[in-house]
Amino acid sequence: MSRHGFTAMYEYPLYVSSCPGAHVIYDTISRQFCHVVIAVFLPRLNSCVYKKLIINPICTRACYDEGKRCAETLFFDYHRQHNLDIKVVRIFNTYGPRMHPNDGRVVSNFIVQALRGEDITIYGDGQQSRSFCYVDDMIDGFVRMMNSERGLTGPVNMGNPVEFTMLELAENILRIVAGKSKLTFKPLPADDPRQRQPDISQARSKLNWEPKVSLEDGLKETILYFKRLLKNGDVRSVNTRSVL
């Protein structure tokens, strides 16, 4: 089972927290080498770049969100105390080939459902928005960050600022797949953000980075990947546990 996404978050909360793993990394690296460059990739950090900061440390997904915040704090403490060279990138909604088909994320769910002709599960009214970054763009950003001057610690936001609602995403996927799936509406998960859009001004100015792959092109590649998985029988069912 994937350790990412909703399934893992609710079934294995302690594993999902980034803190224990992060601790091992800092401890090992800072004792043995003082000047190793490490990167913390913090998927889907739930705050800081938004005008309105919403933090709920006791909700069901808090193990995930707080784990990332705490990992970031520890990285900066190790940086100050041990002169450890760090690079911190905050990743926003990234998708592409090699996604886990069962991790419950929206892009993988919708594509698998559309390819199988199953109903597309929209949580809430589908008007919530996300900004989807294709994996190649994200990797290019990481490489630029790792090659940046030593003093640039971040955090630097990386993601695609172009927003889509979940309804628009579903329509795009159905059009590309030429699918006939119907939309079905399910309850919105607790604390599901209404909007998630990165402010990438730092990545633009300091790393000369911005995403280049359109949602259309990225979805086409991702759909090809999932078609292959389905053909090989590598997908059982998608994870649509929306009420948690």
Instruction: Tell me which residues touch ligand UDP (CB under 6 A).
Output: 44, 93, 105-106, 109, 121-123, 128, 130, 166, 188-189, 192, 196, 240
Is the distance from CB of 19 to CB of 66 less than 8 angstroms? no
> Quick one: 166 or 213, whose CB is closer to ligand UDP?
166
> Quick one: 94 or 137, whose CB is closer to ligand UDP?
94
Could you confirm whether 64 is annotated as catalytic? Answer: yes
Rounded CA-CA distance 66/71 in Å is: 8
Q: In angstroms, what is the minimal distance from the CB of 1 to ligand UDP?
A: 16
Rounded CA-CA distance 174/223 in Å is: 11
41: DSSP letter: E
161-165 contact pairs (CB < 8 A, 24+):
161/131, 161/197, 161/198, 161/199, 161/200, 161/211, 162/131, 162/211, 162/215, 163/129, 163/130, 163/131, 163/195, 163/197, 164/129, 164/130, 164/131, 164/132, 164/215, 165/126, 165/127, 165/128, 165/129
Q: In angstroms, what is the minimal distance from the CB of 69 to ligand UDP?
A: 15
> Quick one: 128 or 157, whose CB is closer to ligand UDP?
128
> Quick one: 127 or 201, whose CB is closer to ligand UDP?
127
Q: In angstroms, what is the minimal distance from the CB of 78 to ligand UDP?
A: 27
* Residue type (1 letter), 236: R
Rounded CA-CA distance 67/15 in Å is: 10
Catalytic entry in 12, 15, 64, 123: 64
Is the distance from CB of 107 to CB of 222 less than 8 angstroms? yes
Q: In angstroms, what is the minimal distance from the CB of 20 to ligand UDP?
A: 22
Q: What is the 3-state secondary structure (H, E, C) of 151-162?
A: CCCCCEEECCCC
Q: In angstroms, what is the minimal distance from the CB of 103 to ligand UDP?
A: 8
At residue 215, the 3 state secondary structure works out as helix
At residue 242, the 3 state secondary structure works out as coil
> Quick one: 85 or 192, whose CB is closer to ligand UDP?
192
Degrees to nearest 5, angle at CA 141 with 149 and 62: 105
* Residues recognised as catalytic: 64
